[in-house]
Amino acid sequence: MKNAFKHISWFFKQEWKLYVLCLILLVFVSVVPLIPAKVLGAAIDSFSTGTLTLNSLLMYVLLLFLCPILTYLVNIFYHYTMIKLGHKLSYQLREKYISHLFDMDSELYEKYTKGDLISRATNDLNSLTTLATTFLENVIFYAVTIITAIVMMIIISPLLTLASVAFMPLVIFFLNKARLEKRKYYKKHHEIYAEMTESVLESIEGVKTVRAYCYEDEDFKKTERAIINDVDSWWKIQKFESAFTPLFELVYALAYFIAIGLGTYLVIHGDISAGSLVSYLVYVGTLYAPLIGLSNVLNIMNNIVIADQRFNEVMNTIPSVKNEEHPKDILKFKEISFNNASFKYPFDDFEVIKNITFSIKSGETIGIVGPTGSGKSTLIRQLLREFNLTSGEIKIDGNDIKEYKIEDIRNLVGYVPQNHILFRRSVDDNILIGKPDANSQALQKAMTMADFKKDLSNLAEGSSTMVAELGESLSGGQKQRLSIARALVKDPEILILDDSLSAVDALTESTIIEQLKEDRKDKTNIIVAHRFSAVKNADKIIVLQDGVITDMGSSKELLKYDNWYKLQYLKQLKGDIYE
């Protein structure tokens, strides 16, 4: 718990004035409800001794009436303030979390699944918000109530108080020990919840594929198992809590039994008055809610500690790819060179690309071809600074790529990946993600170059048509061309098409390639393709096999001798299937 408080101490410092105000209000609503017990006892004693007057009766009634009214009014303001603080903390934690995720490199997303990251931003983050609001409120409220009640009980009879509540600290100590033993399983439950979230996400995202292969029953069983595992895990915790909570009730019952028995004995022998015993029993009664509440507080502590560990496990992750202390700016370049560049993914045991050496001059069109799994996408993604090279270096105009600002390097590139991610926005808005401040002319030009304008007439509201989530309302070719338009509206120094023409017909591909040659003649284009028609006019074609460059040159140069490129080129001319 100490670490959890430490991790959100910045928020307490930021909002300390409101927390001080809430503390004062909480002490007020904890103490005031105990006053009626004292009033009631005094009234009974006055009545039993015959000293009760009309004025004193009215005063007692007024006090009994005012206490709950004042408590109610203060409670309204207090809870409004605490809810406001909770929402503010929740928002700021989520903002920090999302900002941190954007700052992280791809290694984090290789390590954690989507469901796991989402569960940390929802379930775990809510527990941290509880720490700064409900948990603190309960601890302070119960502590003040218990201390005040015990003080009032001591004033009435130290002996009776010692007999009825002295054993409570010992019992609470053992209960707390049991809580610590159970903490290990709370962590397991959070992991099971994350697995369930990931399973549900997979089912939602893959619903079309599931239906296409009539895999509904199997997918349902998989998701059902994940949900059942989560429910079973939750039930294990509930069973523990079901056995845990009555122990506090037992503590209270024993205290109440001792208070009634010994208190009656003291009244009979004249050590305390009947009114004082009534007041004492009311104070014992006020201990019930705090004691039962303590059982929930201890269980909440388990959730908070595990949630804090999981949330800060991500927040404390430091990206491997980061800016140097004084990074250089870059807007344009003359030459990029790969020098013996090798790379393996963080959780793999083998290098995907090995000792790659070649250069790209500004204004060149580079084609990259090779068998499936040869490392083509991995090679060009090195220009996005998603990972650091395992060995070797990439230099831009003679300087290591690490010396430049990561943001500037990525701004040089317009990247169209193999998997086209579109958002639930209009066609225009999806394109403008590439450059939010682009004007209408730039938007129209990007759609023209991507040969997407011809599709607008088939869309219900033209470029204002809302695209379904992940682009499911568009065909494969439309998604590719919309992604290309998004990269082109940026007018990047380097345009990378990573097998981004595979879903378009030959005529559309030819149109796009011609547009790129005409409008990007002074800019750099890198085209990864399986169809050689997309790269045949490139200034340089790189042939990649098993992560190694086996051939390099123009299409004409590569066709002069027997090699993989020539073999595949001839197969494609004959219409054979590309291998």
Show the CA angle centred on residue 327, arms to residues 325 and 333, nearest 5°.
Answer: 165
Domain boundary among 255, 287, 315: 315
Name the residue type at position 397.
D
What is the Cα–Cα distance from 247 to 263, expressed in whole angstroms? Answer: 24
Domain boundary among 284, 315, 346: 315
Positive/negative CA dihedral, 387, 389, 395, 399:
positive
- Is residue 393 in a domain? yes
- Is residue 579 in a domain? no
What digits encode the pLDDT tens for the residues 417-441?
887 788 888 889 988 988 888 898 9
- 108 and 225, same structural domain? yes
The answer to whether 237 and 300 have CB atoms below 8 angstroms apart is no
Q: How far is CA 533 from the centre of its chain?
A: 43
- Is residue 323 in a domain? no
The answer to whether 306 and 251 have CB atoms below 8 angstroms apart is no
The stretch 227-244 carries a mean pLDDT of 78
What digits encode the pLDDT tens for the residues 43-76?
777 777 777 777 777 887 887 788 788 888 888 8
What is the Cα–Cα distance from 548 to 565, expressed in whole angstroms? Answer: 14
What digits encode the pLDDT tens for the residues 69-107?
888 888 888 889 988 998 999 999 999 999 888 888 888
Tell me 532's DSSP state: G
The pair of structure tokens assigned to 367 is 């084609």
Model confidence band, residue 178 (pLDDT cutoffs 50, 70, 90): low
Asked whether residue 570 carries a pLDDT value surpassing 90, the answer given is no
What is the Cα–Cα distance from 433 to 489, expressed in whole angstroms? Answer: 9
> Considering only CA atoms, which of 282, 260, 250 is closest in space to residue 172?
250
- CA atoms within 13 A of residue 278's CA, in its CB half-sphere: 14
- 351 and 287, same structural domain? no
**Strand 365-369 with 524-528, pairing:** parallel
Average pLDDT, the chain: 83
The pair of structure tokens assigned to 165 is 């509540």
- 283 and 191, same structural domain? yes
- Is residue 329 in a domain? no
What is the Cα–Cα distance from 567 to 216, expressed in whole angstroms? Answer: 42
pTM here is 0.70
Tell me 386's DSSP state: S
> Can you give the pLDDT at residue 245?
65
> Can you give the pLDDT at residue 290?
79
Model confidence band, residue 579 (pLDDT cutoffs 50, 70, 90): very low
The stretch 258-270 carries a mean pLDDT of 84
The stretch 139-164 carries a mean pLDDT of 84
- Is residue 325 in a domain? no
- List alpha helices for 450-505, DSSP H: 453-456, 476-488
> Can you give the pLDDT at residue 400?
92
> Can you give the pLDDT at residue 215?
75
Name the residue type at position 312.
N
- 409 and 487, same structural domain? yes
**Strand 540-545 with 399-400, pairing:** unpaired
- 366 and 282, same structural domain? no
In terms of pLDDT, which residue wins out, 227 or 540? 540
In terms of pLDDT, which residue wins out, 449 or 240? 449
**What's the chain's length in residues?**
579
473 lies in which domain range?
335-574
- 416 and 374, same structural domain? yes
- Is residue 524 in a domain? yes
What is the Cα–Cα distance from 529 to 544, expressed in whole angstroms? Answer: 12
What is the Cα–Cα distance from 305 to 180, expressed in whole angstroms? Answer: 10
The answer to whether 428 and 360 have CB atoms below 8 angstroms apart is no
The pair of structure tokens assigned to 4 is 């959890």
The answer to whether 452 and 485 have CB atoms below 8 angstroms apart is yes
In terms of pLDDT, which residue wins out, 67 or 559? 559
What digits encode the pLDDT tens for the residues 12-21?
899 999 989 9
- 303 and 195, same structural domain? yes
- 208 and 275, same structural domain? yes
- Cα distance from N-terminal residue to C-terminal residue, the chain: 58
What is the Cα–Cα distance from 322 to 339, expressed in whole angstroms? Answer: 21
- 362 and 298, same structural domain? no
What digits encode the pLDDT tens for the residues 292-339?
777 667 667 777 888 888 888 888 988 888 888 889 999 899 999 999
> Which class for 385: exposed (0-12), middle (13-18), buried (19 or more C-beta within 10 A)?
buried
Query: Looking at residue 475, which CATH number applies to its domain?
Result: 3.40.50.300
- 346 and 228, same structural domain? no
What is the Cα–Cα distance from 335 to 348, expressed in whole angstroms? Answer: 31
The pair of structure tokens assigned to 416 is 């169209």
Residue 214 phi, psi dihedral angles, 5° rounding: 50, 45
Residue linked to tokens 């048509």:
465
* Total count of domains within the chain: 2
Name the residue type at position 283.
Y
Q: How far is CA 139 from the centre of its chain?
A: 28
Query: Looking at residue 225, which CATH number applies to its domain?
Result: 1.20.1560.10
- 430 and 296, same structural domain? no
Instruction: Tell me, letter by letter, the H, E, C secondary structure of 49-105.
Output: HCCCCHHHHHHHHHHHHHHHHHHHHHHHHHHHHHHHHHHHHHHHHHHHHHHHHHHCC
Asked whether residue 455 carries a pLDDT value surpassing 60, the answer given is yes
The neighbouring-strand residues paired with 335 are 361
Domain boundary among 315, 345, 362: 315
- 353 and 260, same structural domain? no
What is the Cα–Cα distance from 554 to 570, expressed in whole angstroms? Answer: 16
- Is residue 328 in a domain? no
